[in-house]
Amino acid sequence: MGGGQSVKRLTLFDQLGKSPESSGSRQLIVNSGRYGLTKGGVQADNIELTSEGLKAIDEQVTAREQARVRAELAIQRIDPFEKLYQKFVGNKLPAHAVLVDAAKDVGIDAAHAAEAIDTFVVNLRFVGLLKTLSGAERIIPVEMLLDELPASNRLINSPVQVAPQSTSVITSEHAQYEGTCFYIAPIGEEGSEARKHSDLFLGSFVEPALEAFKLNVVRADAIDKPGIITRQIIDYIMRSRLVVADLSFHNPNVFYELALRHAVKLPIVQIIRANDRVPFDVNQMRTIHIDTSDIYALVPKIESYRAEIANQVRRALEADHIVDTPISTYFPNLSVTL
C-alpha cells in the first residue's frame, strides 16, 4: 500500500497490530475514505491509496506538492473545515470557545462541535497551517506555507540541505496600510530576552488592545530579518495608520524608526517596561508603563494595560487628533510627501 498498490484489508490490520473487525479499525477505514486518502470500505477485501493519498506520503513527491495535497485533503476538501479556515486565516488562533461557536455557525451539530474543533486544530498543525509567529499561534495562508518549501524535484528526505525560503508574512506590495498598525519593537534574536519580551508585549497587550479597531499588527520580523531596516519596513513606519512603539531596552533601531514616524506626524502610541527610563527627547509624549518586574505584578494588571493601550489608540485615531512630537513642535510647517 505504501507503494500505491492495493493491500488485503486483513493483511493491513495485521501489520498494524489491530483487529480488522474492531470499532476502532472500522473507524480508521471510514475516516481515511472521507479524507480522500483511501478507496475501499469496511467490508472491502482490498484497501488502496487514492492518487492524492499516495502523494501525501510518497517520498518521491516534492515537499511543496506534498504540503499542498495534505492541506487540500485535511482542510480544503472538508466543507466545515474549509469554512472555518477561510473565516480565521491570517489571524491568531481564536480561543476554543470562539471556535466552537464558529463551528456551530457553519453547520456542525452542537453536540459534535467541540470534537470537530479539536480535529480541525490538529489537522491545521499537522499540515503546517498553524504556526507560531510573533509570540502567538496563527493560521497562515496556504500560499505562505508553500512559499517556504522548495519547488524543485529534490526529495523531502534528501540529504541535500535546501536553503530556507523567506518566511515573510506580508510584503509592501500587498500591504493595506490603512488597516495596519506597525509595531516598532526591540526584536532581538530567537530565544533572546528581547525577543521573549517583544513576543509577550505583542501577543498579550498590543494585539488584544487593537482587536476592536480591526487593525492588523505587523512587526518587522514578519517582513524581513530582525535588525535590518529595509525599504519595506520604512514603508510600514511612514504609511501605516498607526504605530505602537515599545521603547523598552533602549534599542537604537527603535528610536531611529520612531524618528521616521515623527517626521510624517502620524498617530503613535508609546509603551515601555516600567523599570526602563523614557529618554528625555521623547518623554514629553504620553507613554504607557508596563510593570514586568515579576509575574505577581504583571498578571493582575494585564486587562488594565490592554485597556490603557486601547484608550490611547482610540485617542490617537480620532480625526482631529494632533500628533505632538519634537519635530512637529519645532518645525510645525514641515511636510513629508511620500
The residue-averaged pLDDT of 161-186 equals 62
Average pLDDT over residues 15-31: 75
Residue 12 vs residue 102, higher pLDDT:
102
CA distance 249 to 193: 10
Q: Among 3-17, 238-252, 270-284, 320-334, which is the least confidently predicted range?
A: 3-17
Say how far apart CA 296 and CA 298 lie, in whole Å.
6
What residues are paired with 133 via a beta bridge?
A: 136
Whether the CB-CB separation of 267 and 206 falls below 8 Å is answered with: no
Using the predicted structure, report yes or no on whether residue 171 has a pLDDT greater than 50. no
Strand pairing report for 38-39 and 46-49: antiparallel
CA 50/CA 48 separation, integer angstroms = 7
CB atoms within 10 A of CB 276: 16
Q: Count H helices and E strands in the chain, helices first.
A: 15, 10
The span from the first CA to the last CA of the chain, in angstroms, equals 60
Q: Specify the amino acid at residue 228.
A: I
| Residue matched to cell numbers 471556535 | 99
pLDDT (mean) for 197-214:
93
Higher-pLDDT residue of 175 and 219 is: 219
Q: Can you state the angle between helices 79-88 and 113-127, rounded to 10 degrees?
A: 70
Please report the pLDDT score of residue 225 as a whole number.
Answer: 60
What is the predicted pLDDT for the residue at 256? 95
- Mean pLDDT, residues 145-159: 64
Q: Give the pLDDT band (50/70/90) at residue 334.
A: confident
Q: List for the chain the helix, strand, coil content (%; round to 5).
A: 50, 10, 40
Mean pLDDT of 171-188: 78
For residues 27 and 260, which has the higher predicted lDDT (pLDDT)? 260
- Count Cα atoms within 13 angstroms, Cβ side, for 306: 17
Residue type (1 letter), 155: L
pLDDT at 96: 85
> Structure pTM?
0.58
Average pLDDT over residues 52-70: 91
Cα 312 versus chain centre, distance: 25
Residue 136 in this model has a pLDDT that exceeds 70 = yes
Where on the phi/psi map is residue 155: left (φ > 0), alpha (ψ -120 to 50), or beta? beta
Q: Say what percent of the chain tops pLDDT 90.
A: 49
- Specify the pLDDT at position 224: 65
Residue 161's pLDDT is 35
CA distances from 250 to 262, 282, 330 (A): 17, 12, 24
Q: Looking at 149-153, 211-215, 220-224, which range is the least confident one?
A: 149-153
- 201-214: average pLDDT: 92
- Read off the DSSP letter of residue 225: -
Residue 157's pLDDT band, with cuts at 50, 70 and 90, is very low
Nearest residue to 106 via CA among 85, 84, 123: 84
Residue pair 309/287 in contact (Cβ under 8 Å)? The answer is no
Return mean pLDDT, the chain: 85
Q: Is the pLDDT of residue 241 over 80?
A: yes
